[in-house]
Chain A
Amino acid sequence: METVSAHPRPTEAAHMPLTPVLSERYALTAGQFGVVAVLTAWCWYLSYIPLFYAVTWRHAMVGQWIAEQNALPRVDPTLALADGMEWTTTSWLSDLSFHLLERAGGALALQAALVVLVGGASIGLARLFYVATSSKWWMLAGLAFVLPFVWTRVGVLRPELAGAGCFVLLLLMWQRLRTEPAPNSATGWAAGAWLPLLMAVWANLDGSVLWGVVALACFALGEFIDGWQERRDPRLVARDSGCRWRIWLAQASIAATLCTPLGWDLWRQAASLATSALGASFGGLRPMLVASWLGLGLLATWALFGVLLRYGRAAFRAGDVLAFVAFSLLAGYNESLAPWLAVVAASILIPHTAQLCRDRDWFGALIGAAGGSVSGDVLVVAPVPESGNGANMVSAGQAGTDSPEETAAKPFQFAYSLAALLVIWVAFALSPLATPLLGGKPRPLNRIYSPNTPHAIAEFLRGQSPKGLVWCPEEWGDWLRWNGPAGIKVAVNSNASILPRIVRQDYAQVARADGTWTRTLDRYGVEYLAVDKQTQQRLADSVQSTLESWTVVYEDESALVARRKEAGE
């Protein structure tokens, strides 16, 4: 940081230009200001997303259990009918964090966590694309590519969001490692420890660390394949200290995932994904349908990959191709993994697309081309220098990339920086997260929580204190367990995939009001039946019209609650 070297005399000072105290690296250009504004607007939007009534609360309850028992659960403490199913959380640190956050700051703290996790991951992604393309426009294009795939996943606070943040960090770290030689000092080696450390933390935050392991395995194997291709002899690959270092680092990082209370069990669960709690946490087998938006998106992504293979000058790194194929297969196995594929695909395809556009002079004036250059046949990503203006690393003259002229010294060179700070502050001040700090009217419940949150049902049940089982829609189970009477036993919740098969079948039968569904409820000793009239209309009608052993004890326009009649009632 530059400082003013001496205090000039008053008469001299009147004739001297002011010298900035801040380094010029903090002087934003108009384009950079635009990026800050877009990301700030995104975070501001995130702060207004109400908390969903499922998932988050189950994790917070598991976290509460962990805090109280000082141990990991061996069965799901939130799901009475799964008390014989061995299960443990693969996201204990996130669960505990959700619980502690909720206890400390209530719903607002959880909303803030959502903003930090999604906003942080978005900023990380932006940097990833920017470093790879040296173009703000391609950076925004990368974000726009990812957004449709992740749109349905970012609105619910879940441990997976922490995992997504870790994944972005992993890609950033690996991107940097690829351009660096092997360290030749203790400091350099220590710097490499960040990656294993990240993986160790991630393994405690969420089971999605498995996807990090997949990515690292692909990258490490890709390093070897690239080295082999380059030297035409696999034995010579090991002579490249940089390659050796990266493979070791990837392997050490994979091994670091053992640093969890689960230990080997995490890997054991990964090896038997189809039947393990880890597999269940992703929803098991949920194949992606081609005739769906996600399926079409996957096809389009592969089509783009084909175009780049056919027309692009730059060869793909083996690790990138392996990762792209692996994550495509994973997304095909379970469509909820599509966001992970989107991130991997964007990180690989966007730089190549940018390069192709530059080579073909497509969109030249509009969005420009990549700042990477072709060395041999492989796209080499230009690293962002840590000092100096971040936009200056691209050779001048490349159309559309951030040019030195953009950030040349100007009298108002910090104007955009100040404006960016102002935008950030205004966004914060206008967001609900500022209320505790700046005051203001707290948001109404229907703005803090999703509109269909079953507040009324939870409140009603609190007045009833049910001792038996409460049969409710799967989506309501988490909220009723969290916000209903203490010790309430709900039949299903968002972790329903771990229930015994017969219970899942019975749940589906009752939800459709099929056959002898009342006898099914008898079998479980159900005391209260909560029905969502919007999604279970047939069941609601059946409860209203045909039951002799049930009585409707609560009803509003969207839900009803029936209680089993006592003998003689």
Chain B
Amino acid sequence: MSHPQHKSRGNLGVRLFWWSQAVFLAAVVAVPTVAGWTRDPRPRLPQFEMEPTRVEPLHDNPLIVTDEQLAAVLKKLEPRLRHSQPKINYVDHALRFWGVDATFQDPACLSGEELRKLLVDHEAFQAAWGKDTKPLMSLRNGLVSVRMQQGNATASHVDHTLASLAECGTPLDFDLSLPGQIVPLRSLLASAVARFEINQQEYEWTTLAAALYATNGSSWYSVDGERVDFNRCAQRLMRQQYQQGVCYGNHRLYTLVMLLRIDEQKSLLDDSTRSAIADHLREATRRLIASQSPEGYWDQNWPDAKSAARDEKLETPLSRRILATGHALEWWATAPAEFHPPREVLVRAGQWLAKEIDSMDQSAIEKNYTFLSHAGRALRLWRSGE
């Protein structure tokens, strides 16, 4: 015989048990579900704005290159690419050098618009390269990619084409005509950033493109879950020895300068990174001052002239010297004066470069066009500022 009190206590325990099981099971179901919903709430891309940041030239120094010298250099380096199968790395270098508004009297030259169209319009690309050539840009697995380092019909550096489009002011809603479909430039940028890893081989141009379109310095996460921001990109740019990296490490220095310049408008960096970049650039300048030749050029061994200059890909000293000198003058032209060497260093370099380019024949120019585009851009920048 059971007491009513015991029975009611027992019923209460049973009810409590079932209710508690319902709550527990709900929690067990909810936790993984919520975890699944919020598995990766981290941003996969930086915040972008439609127009790229404009980094205006800062300097006008006729001692580095006179008006006449500059005119001669620019004439020599006009993009005479209106022919069958123009090298795509020449096209994107030319676009970056001349900008999208450039027009030329020489009918052999492509205008800025035509240069850009060759890169972003598959029909224009096909017209120049033939129908059998693989497209330069394509959409695969939801990502837009630019063919690279697979011959003359492809680009030479990772995301250099993207950065060229950004530096010449192309907005993110600009249409890219891929085979069979049109996507905005934003898709190419998003694809490049989505693929980007901080430790990848070439990273300078992706960093630059992302910084030019970034709204602010907020971080994003790579496909591997690695947090990326422009501070980390800057640290990556400064990690290697000075001469290491593409174009003797000069792309790294240029991108660092550009980060500083964009940071003035967008606040991409923190104080310690700004300071580290400044130290890094000053050290580069110190090394360049120490290693400049009496004639005014630098070579592959610019970080320390005591070592022998060598480049397995570039046999002639002139090619190496134009590459090293043109790139150095380019990043200095973009940098604030605090990172400059004494004026005579710049003048010697500018004068050597202008004279050498002026004395080059057309075949030499065609052979070295990519390096020369940096040199020509550098000389123009030195005369474009206030």
Q: Considering the complex, which residues of chain B in the window 195-239 have a beta carbon less than 8 Å from any beta carbon of chain A?
A: 197-201, 222, 224-228, 232, 239
Q: Considering the complex, which residues of chain B in the window 90-121 have a beta carbon less than 8 Å from any beta carbon of chain A?
A: none
Other A-B pairs, 19, CB within 8 Å; known A500-B224, A567-B303? A86-B225, A238-B18, A241-B10, A244-B13, A244-B17, A248-B17, A251-B20, A264-B31, A268-B31, A268-B34, A271-B35, A272-B36, A500-B197, A523-B199, A525-B241, A567-B301, A568-B301, A568-B305, A568-B307
B14 is an interface residue with CB less than 8 A from chain A: yes
* Interchain CB contact under 8 A, B304 and A84: no
A425 is an interface residue with CB less than 8 A from chain B: no
A326 is an interface residue with CB less than 8 A from chain B: no
A410 is an interface residue with CB less than 8 A from chain B: no
Residue of B31, B197, B199 ringed by the most chain A CB atoms within 10 A: B199
Contact partner of B227 among A86, A248, A522, CB < 8 A? A86
Kindly list chain A residues whose C-beta atoms are within 8 Å of the C-beta of B17: 238, 244, 247-248
A-B CB contacts (within 8 Å), total count:
89
A147-155, A294-302, A501-509, A539-547: which lies at the interface = A501-509
Q: Considering the complex, which residues of chain A in the window 226-260 have a beta carbon less than 8 Å from any beta carbon of chain B?
A: 238-239, 241, 244, 247-248, 251
Residue of B32, B224, B301 ringed by the most chain A CB atoms within 10 A: B224
In the complex, the chain A residue whose C-beta lies closest to that of B27 is A255
Kindly list chain A residues whose C-beta atoms are within 8 Å of the C-beta of B241: 522, 525, 564, 567
Kindly list chain A residues whose C-beta atoms are within 8 Å of the C-beta of B14: 238-239, 244
Q: Hey, which bits of chain A sit against chain B, CB under 8 A? A: 81, 83-86, 238-239, 241, 244, 247-248, 251, 264, 267-268, 271-272, 275, 500-503, 506, 522-525, 564, 566-569
Kindly list chain B residues whose C-beta atoms are within 8 Å of the C-beta of A523: 199, 201, 240, 244
Kindly list chain B residues whose C-beta atoms are within 8 Å of the C-beta of A85: 225-227
* Interchain CB contact under 8 A, A566 and B18: no
* Interchain CB contact under 8 A, A568 and B225: no
B39 is an interface residue with CB less than 8 A from chain A: yes
B313 is an interface residue with CB less than 8 A from chain A: no
Contact partner of B35 among A241, A244, A267, A506, CB < 8 A? A267
Closest 10 CB pairs of A and B: A568-B306, A567-B304, A271-B35, A568-B304, A525-B239, A271-B32, A84-B226, A84-B227, A568-B307, A238-B17
B174 is an interface residue with CB less than 8 A from chain A: no
Kindly list chain A residues whose C-beta atoms are within 8 Å of the C-beta of B200: 502
Docked CA distance A251–B21 (Å): 9
Taking the closest CB of chain B, its distance from the CB of A263, in whole angstroms, is: 12
Taking the closest CB of chain A, its distance from the CB of B366, in whole angstroms, is: 29
Residue of B35, B198, B306 ringed by the most chain A CB atoms within 10 A: B35
Contact partner of B240 among A83, A239, A525, CB < 8 A? A525
B256-293 vs A, CB cutoff 8 Å, 1 = contact: the mask equals: 00000000000000000000000000000000000000
How many chain-B residues does the 8 Å CB contact rule pick out? 39
Docked CA distance A247–B38 (Å): 30
Taking the closest CB of chain B, its distance from the CB of A97, in whole angstroms, is: 29
Kindly list chain B residues whose C-beta atoms are within 8 Å of the C-beta of A267: 31, 35
In the complex, the chain A residue whose C-beta lies closest to that of B243 is A567
Taking the closest CB of chain B, its distance from the CB of A60, in whole angstroms, is: 26
* Interchain CB contact under 8 A, A84 and B307: no
15 residue pairs of the A-B complex, CB under 8 angstroms, read A83-B232, A84-B227, A84-B228, A84-B232, A244-B14, A244-B17, A247-B17, A267-B35, A271-B35, A271-B36, A502-B200, A502-B224, A567-B241, A567-B242, A568-B305
Taking the closest CB of chain B, its distance from the CB of A226, in whole angstroms, is: 16
Residue of B17, B304, B307 ringed by the most chain A CB atoms within 10 A: B17
Kindly list chain A residues whose C-beta atoms are within 8 Å of the C-beta of B31: 264, 267-268, 271
Kindly list chain A residues whose C-beta atoms are within 8 Å of the C-beta of B227: 84-86
Kindly list chain B residues whose C-beta atoms are within 8 Å of the C-beta of A503: 199
Taking the closest CB of chain A, its distance from the CB of B237, in whole angstroms, is: 11
Taking the closest CB of chain B, its distance from the CB of A552, in whole angstroms, is: 19
Contact partner of A500 among B21, B222, B239, B305, CB < 8 A? B222
Kindly list chain A residues whose C-beta atoms are within 8 Å of the C-beta of B32: 271
* Interchain CB contact under 8 A, A522 and B244: yes
Contact partner of A524 among B34, B35, B36, B199, CB < 8 A? B199
Docked CA distance A566–B198 (Å): 24
B29-45 vs A, CB cutoff 8 Å, 1 = contact: the mask equals: 00110111011000000
Docked CA distance A267–B38 (Å): 13
Taking the closest CB of chain B, its distance from the CB of A277, in whole angstroms, is: 10
Docked CA distance A238–B200 (Å): 60
Residue of A81, A239, A267, A500 ringed by the most chain B CB atoms within 10 A: A500
In the complex, the chain A residue whose C-beta lies closest to that of B287 is A567
Residue of A84, A247, A500, A524 ringed by the most chain B CB atoms within 10 A: A84
Residue of B10, B201, B225, B227 ringed by the most chain A CB atoms within 10 A: B225
Kindly list chain B residues whose C-beta atoms are within 8 Å of the C-beta of A564: 241
Kindly list chain A residues whose C-beta atoms are within 8 Å of the C-beta of B18: 238
Docked CA distance A502–B198 (Å): 9
Known contacts: A86-B227, A567-B307. The answer to whether A502 contacts B197 by CB under 8 A is yes
Kindly list chain B residues whose C-beta atoms are within 8 Å of the C-beta of A502: 197, 199-200, 224
Kindly list chain B residues whose C-beta atoms are within 8 Å of the C-beta of A566: 304
Kindly list chain A residues whose C-beta atoms are within 8 Å of the C-beta of B36: 271-272
Taking the closest CB of chain B, its distance from the CB of A218, in whole angstroms, is: 13
Kindly list chain B residues whose C-beta atoms are within 8 Å of the C-beta of A500: 197-199, 222, 224-226
Kindly list chain A residues whose C-beta atoms are within 8 Å of the C-beta of B197: 500, 502
Kindly list chain A residues whose C-beta atoms are within 8 Å of the C-beta of B13: 238, 241, 244
* Interchain CB contact under 8 A, B39 and A272: yes
Docked CA distance A516–B19 (Å): 64
Kindly list chain A residues whose C-beta atoms are within 8 Å of the C-beta of B222: 84, 500
Taking the closest CB of chain A, its distance from the CB of B241, in whole angstroms, is: 7
